Amino acid sequence: MRHAFALLCATLLAVAGCERGSARDPNAGAAALATLPEIDVETTRIRRGSIVQRISAPGSILARREARIGPEVRGLLLEIFVEEGDRVEAGDPLFQIDPEPYRLALGQAEAVEARARAEREQTQSDLGRAGALRRQNIVAEQETDRIETGVAVALAQEREAGEALAMAKRNLERTLVRAPFTGSITRRLADEGTTALVQPQTIVILLQETHVLEAVATIAEIHFASIRAGDVALLHVDGLALPIRTEVESVGDSVDEASRTFRVKMPVPNDDHGLKAGLFARIDILPQAKREVLLAPRDAVRSQDGRNQVLVVRDGIAKLMPIEVGLISENAIEVLAGLRVDDEVVVGEAARMLAPGMRVRGGGDTERTGS
């Protein structure tokens, strides 16, 4: 039966080809073909429904944050408290710079600040006494002016000493370096006894945030208007039986001029630390469905000379109809123009091989336009 159908279709295509030279109408030759017997074909009705276009792209699973941690003050690397693979909480100690020089500097700063405070108090006391004597005309006005200037200088010196004291305290605190966020130690790049520098900075620890990773995909620019934050995403990772379900967190605002792609980011929960930063992933993004649109089965559409067409059954005759296509899902195509609800179209092998203008008898599944 299948061979007979193929032979008949081939014959009809030959007839259509002969008549194409004498007429531009794609349905030319209908009169001649109508004398042939009816062919049973599978058809379906055009319906309205919802469609989701699956957008697939390669991607990588990366750490959301990675910190290259070095000292903020120069000194001898006294102790490192972590090893590669350790997990730390925000605020946990990572390594210690020798604090002794900074304790000494703090003591000196405290002494300078105490002396500046005493000098300021003394000059203010002198000013009080001079003011009393000036009211009795015992000292000259120039003398009180001189002491007032001395008070202003003493106040400035005390403020400067206070700032130096605050810096000395801060430097002492900086000798103990703590984790800026919760994560895993991925590299330890220095050992105890190293003289750690600030400029250029000696990197001691690499810290990655690993309890939540981030999938990054590069998407072709033709999909720029389709993807929105909140769209469902499925991450397929080798070694995992099931895809990881997540959602689009952010969509890049610009398209790379070289690759004509834009970046899409998705959070990847990793509470059990089963995933590792750097993994390759195949990413499927499912934009929000378009609802109440005209749908045709994918196997009803055939392309010719860059145009999309379907065979519509009208009065028992298969007529070729150009259509405008929108979204494309695994099973269905959104029809933007060219068809109406309840139009009967040919599907399956006949949709590709049947000549326009042929007499047909439709039948088969009428609910094949689901997305």
In sequence order, what E strands does 124-260 have? 176-178, 183-188, 195-196, 205-208, 212-220, 232-236, 244-247, 250-251
pLDDT at 169 over 80: yes
Which residue would you say has higher pLDDT here, 287 or 165?
Answer: 165
Residue 290 has a pLDDT of 79
Does 1.10.287 match the CATH number of domain 100-173? yes
Which residue would you say has higher pLDDT here, 215 or 360?
Answer: 215
Mean pLDDT of all residues belonging to the chain: 85
The angle that helices 141-174 and 100-135 make with each other, rounded to 10 degrees, is 160
Distance CA 204, CA 220 (A): 39
89-111 average pLDDT score: 97
Query: In CATH, which superfamily holds the domain spanning 55-64+210-286?
Result: Efflux pump adaptor protein, beta barrel domain (2.40.30.170)
Of 289, 307, 293, 299, the closest CA to residue 44 belongs to: 299
Residue 245 has a pLDDT of 94
pLDDT at 37 over 60: yes
Sorted by where each begins, the domain ranges of the chain are 2-52+290-363, 55-64+210-286, 100-173
Sheet containing 93-97: order of strands: 176-178, 93-97, 75-80, 195-196
pLDDT at 14 over 50: no
Residue 40 has a pLDDT of 84
Structure tokens, 131:
């003011």
49-58 average pLDDT score: 86
pLDDT at 359 over 70: yes
Residue 77 has a pLDDT of 97
pLDDT at 17 over 60: no
Which residue would you say has higher pLDDT here, 208 or 30?
Answer: 208
Q: How far apart are the first and last CA of the chain?
A: 31
Residue 36 has a pLDDT of 64
Q: What are phi and psi of 320, to 5 degrees?
A: -80, 125
Residue 371 has a pLDDT of 53
Distance CA 341, CA 293 (A): 10
Most confident region among 15-19, 36-40, 129-133, 181-185 by mean pLDDT:
181-185
CB 59, CB 217: distance < 8 Å? yes
Residue 11 has a pLDDT of 47
pLDDT at 143 over 60: yes
Residue 32 has a pLDDT of 56
pLDDT at 318 over 70: yes
pLDDT in tens, 222-276: 888 788 899 999 999 998 999 999 999 999 989 989 999 999 999 999 988 889 8
Confidence of residue 7 (pLDDT cuts 50, 70, 90): very low
109-126 average pLDDT score: 90
Residue 338 has a pLDDT of 86
Distance CA 156, CA 41 (A): 98
pLDDT at 137 over 60: yes
pLDDT at 367 over 80: no
pLDDT at 29 over 60: no
Of 72, 68, 269, 91, the closest CA to residue 181 belongs to: 91
Residue 127 has a pLDDT of 78
* Residue tagged 């399956």 (tokens): 348
Distance CA 204, CA 192 (A): 10
Which residue would you say has higher pLDDT here, 251 or 26?
Answer: 251
Residues 6+ apart with CB under 8 A from 205: 67, 68, 69, 80, 82, 94, 95, 185, 187, 188, 189
* Percentage of the chain exceeding pLDDT 70: 88
CB 218, CB 224: distance < 8 Å? no
Distance CA 318, CA 12 (A): 12
CATH number assigned to the domain with residue range 2-52+290-363, chosen from the 4 options 2.40.420.20, 3.40.50.300, 3.40.50.720, 2.120.10.30 = 2.40.420.20
